[in-house]
Amino acid sequence: MPTTPELSTTPGELSPPSGGRLANFRLIPRIETYSAVVSFAQTLPGKLALLAVFALGLAYNHRPWGPLVFCLALITFLPDRRRILLTVSTLVFTFLVPWSGFSNPLYVATLICLTILLGALLFWSVARWPRSWYGRRAVLLFLSGFAALVVFAAKTPRDAWFGRLLWDFTIMLSTYIWFIGYSLLDAKTASHDAFKLQLGSYRPFWGSTDTPFAKGASYLRRIEARSPEQLAVTRLKGVKLLAWASLISFFSDIYQHYVYGSFRIPTYSQALSLSASHVPPPWYLCWASLIANFFGGIISLSILGHTIIACCRMAGFNALRNTYRPLSSRTVAEFFNRYYFYFKELLVDFFFYPTFLRYFKKHYKLRLVASIFAAACFGNAFYHFSRDLNLVHSVGLARALQGFQVYLFYCFALATAISISQLRRRGPAPSGFIRGQLLPSFCVVFVYCLLDVFGATERNYPLVEHFRFFARLFNLNM
Amino acid sequence: MDGVEEIRVFLKKLLALRADRQPFSDQSSLFLSGRLGSVDAVEVVVLLEEKFGIDFTETGFDQVQIDSIDAIQSLIRTANVSK
């Protein structure tokens, strides 16, 4: 069984639609396919040149590049020790790099150690007894235990030291749950990595949100470069991706300047706030704010994802992009895949597959819809609620849940839209640019713009205010 | 049509739906390389359940098990042995 994709024969990205000369035009040339460049990238001057160019790119994108490039240099010159160096670098970036920024360094470091210790204990238990009752339900039990911990911590008075410690630990654990989850999934397999290598994927040094970028150790093991040539190709693709991030970042500055400066389009938050104050902007400005918010979201996520994946590739892991041509999506489900790939993968791995493989096996449509709702509705809501636990701290569990109603509605609407998209019979794209590409893409953007009315994770306004804004888009006053 | 050929045709159809007409060998990575996605994985799972009687609740599921035709063949063999 092959354990790694062949770099020379696979596109390395989600496959692009076929097209003519215009579709094949590339702003940044495919330098990883030029044999002279690949050969040069394997030499000492080539490796140093790539690191220098990468450092420049990071500096342009306002990323602290010193420690990052140092770690990448270590991994570059000691490729045989890549995985263990990944763990060392991740620990450096977990403890040492942010040390001076911690409000109480020893306390925070203790909380992180406790979290890692819990992860190690759970991992060891699953690896030891993979076929036991616990081993087969490890992720489910872990996530349920975490939810119970949140309730318990929220109900424990925080005046005493125990209450504060419990709450701080819960918050710290919330930033690691999906990383621990991926290591538990890996622990069940026969070929799993030891915990010291799993640790390298716990908020890896190349950066991450609460969503594990490049998933867990199991995925890293499979996409790791296996030869000097593969490594050179992967690193060249990393430099290229950072160049993309820099270009988009440059474009983003112009976008912000014109859209919110010269054209004075209100941000979505401002438009919603005006609508809630009963002085709504005209309907066309509501649309403009929503569309600007939608494209702004794609731009900022692309910059973030490209920068992180570029670092990951520079470390020798041929990870897929996080955001890849979202506007070329022809269905709602395809957009969800192309917009935030690793978040979608998280929902699929932790919620979709477990539901799909276990329930309603004799009823395909019900099975599919139930799995989509488990992922895009329940999983999505669970992820965002646990991500924003500070809200529970400030307003209490009951009010935090109440404030979550808008996002819950968004999750429900999103799952419904994806279900409809998936249940419709898939077929080849109609011919012609307008019917085959432009019209479906326009419909997808339209649906997601409407969903975005409810997708904002700020909790300032009740659901009814979002519906009022929604009606305003169609020049209706509620 | 034998089982492997049926899988080959099925995968080719899935790739075509993504407008991917590049050739692929029995060793080509299809999921980890991003040529096919999780939605396609679901269709492959259903095919393997229906045609080959594989129960993933028993064996556990990982996309790497269906990443290439060789991997699928190996999965089918393992499932048959354990029956």
Q: A269: exposed, middle or buried (C-beta count within 10 Å: 0-12, 13-18, 19+)?
A: middle
CA distance B39 to chain A (A): 9
Within 8 A of B25 by CB-CB distance, chain A residues are: 9
- Average the pLDDT over A128-147 and give the result: 92
CB distance from B37 to chain A under 8 Å? yes
- Could you tell me the maximum CA-CA distance found in chain B, to the nearest angstrom? 38
Q: What confidence category does residue A38 fall into, taking pLDDT thresholds of 50, 70 and 90? A: very high
Q: What confidence category does residue A433 fall into, taking pLDDT thresholds of 50, 70 and 90? A: confident
Structure confidence at residue B3 (pLDDT): 78
Over 50: is that where the pLDDT of A10 sits? no
Over 70: is that where the pLDDT of A12 sits? no
Which residue is listed with tokens 């034998």?
B2
- Average the pLDDT over A174-189 and give the result: 94
Alpha helix segments (H runs only) across A42-132:
44-60, 66-77, 82-91, 105-128
- Average the pLDDT over A121-130 and give the result: 94
Q: Among A226-235, A466-475, B70-79, whose mean pLDDT is lowest?
A: B70-79
Q: Could you read off the pLDDT of A234-257 as tens digits, one per residue?
A: 999 999 999 999 999 999 999 999
Which residue is listed with tokens 């160096």?
A85
Within 8 A of B28 by CB-CB distance, chain A residues are: 6, 9-10
Over 80: is that where the pLDDT of A416 sits? yes
Q: Do B39 and A344 touch (CB under 8 A)?
A: no
Give chain B's domain count: 1
Structure confidence at residue A1 (pLDDT): 38
Q: Do B32 and A337 touch (CB under 8 A)?
A: no
Over 60: is that where the pLDDT of A9 sits? no
Q: Do B33 and A12 touch (CB under 8 A)?
A: yes
* For chain B, percent of residues with pLDDT exceeding 90: 25
Within 8 A of B10 by CB-CB distance, chain A residues are: none
Q: What confidence category does residue B69 fall into, taking pLDDT thresholds of 50, 70 and 90? A: very high
Taking the mean position of all CA atoms in its chain, how far away is CA B28? Answer: 12
Within 8 A of B45 by CB-CB distance, chain A residues are: 356-357
CA distance A12 to chain B (A): 5
Over 80: is that where the pLDDT of B1 sits? no
Structure confidence at residue A7 (pLDDT): 41
DSSP code, position A12? S
Closest CA to A301 of A353, A237, A350, A344: A344
Q: If you write DSSP's letter for every residue of A145-194 in order, what string do you get?
A: HHHHHHHHHHHS-SSSHHHHHHHHHHHHHHTTHHHHHHHHHHHTSTTPPP
Return mean pLDDT, chain A: 90
Domain range for B65: 3-82
Q: Do A11 and B34 touch (CB under 8 A)?
A: yes
Quote the pTM value.
0.91
- Average the pLDDT over B47-63 and give the result: 85
Structure confidence at residue A423 (pLDDT): 87
Over 80: is that where the pLDDT of A23 sits? no
CA angle A21, A22, A25 (to 5 degrees): 90
Task: CATH number of the domain at B51, please.
Answer: 1.10.1200.10
Within 8 A of A426 by CB-CB distance, chain B residues are: 17
CB distance from B81 to chain A under 8 Å? no
Structure confidence at residue A311 (pLDDT): 96
Structure confidence at residue A20 (pLDDT): 55
